[in-house]
Amino acid sequence: MSNLSVNYMGLQLRSPILAASSGLTSQLDKVEAFDKAGVGAIVVKSLFEEQIVDEAEFLADQSHDYPESADYLHHYIRHNSIAKYLKLIKDIKDTVSVPVIASINCYSMGEWVEFAKEIEDAGADGLELNIFSMPLNVLKGASQIETDYLDVVGSVTKRVSIPVAVKIANNYTNIPGFVNGLKSRGAKGVVMFNRFYMPDIDIKKVRIIAADAYSTEQEHLKELRWMGIVSALVPGIDLSASTGIHNGTIVIKQLLAGAATAQMCTALYQKGAEAISQAIDDINLFMETQGFEKLSDFRGRLNYSNIPNPERFERVQFMKSFGSK
Ligand SMILES: Cc1cc2nc3c(=O)[nH]c(=O)nc-3n(C[C@H](O)[C@H](O)[C@H](O)COP(=O)(O)O)c2cc1C
Per-residue pLDDT tens over the stretch 164-215: 999 999 999 999 999 999 999 999 999 999 999 999 999 999 999 999 999 9
Domain locations in the chain as residue ranges: 6-322
Q: How far is CA 287 from CA 99, 262, 296, in A?
A: 25, 17, 11
pLDDT at residue 80 in the model:
79
pLDDT at residue 281 in the model:
98
Is 90 exceeded by the pLDDT of residue 324?
Answer: no
| Residue located nearest, by CA, to atom 30 of ligand 1 | 22
What distance in Å separates the CA atoms of residue 233 and residue 303, rounded to the nearest whole number? 10
- Please give the class, per CATH, of domain 6-322: alpha beta
| Residue located nearest, by CA, to atom 26 of ligand 1 | 265
Per-residue pLDDT tens over the stretch 7-55: 999 999 999 999 999 999 999 999 999 999 999 999 999 998 766 665 5
Angle, vertex CA 170, rays to CA 138 and CA 286, nearest 5: 180
Q: In sequence order, what DSSP letters do the residues of 29-56 get, joined into one string?
A: HHHHHHHHHT-SEEE--PEEHHHHHHHH
Query: Any idea which of 27-31, 102-106, 264-268 has the lowest mean pLDDT?
Result: 102-106
| Residue located nearest, by CA, to atom 12 of ligand 1 | 21
Ligand 1 atom showing the smallest separation from residue 130 Cα: 11
Q: Cβ–Cβ contacts within 10 Å for residue 34, how many?
A: 26
Is 60 exceeded by the pLDDT of residue 59?
Answer: no
Which one-letter amino acid corresponds to residue 251? V
Ligand 1 pocket, Cβ-based, cut-off 6 angstroms: 20-23, 45-46, 103, 105, 130, 167, 194-195, 213-215, 242-245, 264-267
Nearest of 208, 322, 193 to residue 262 by alpha carbon: 193
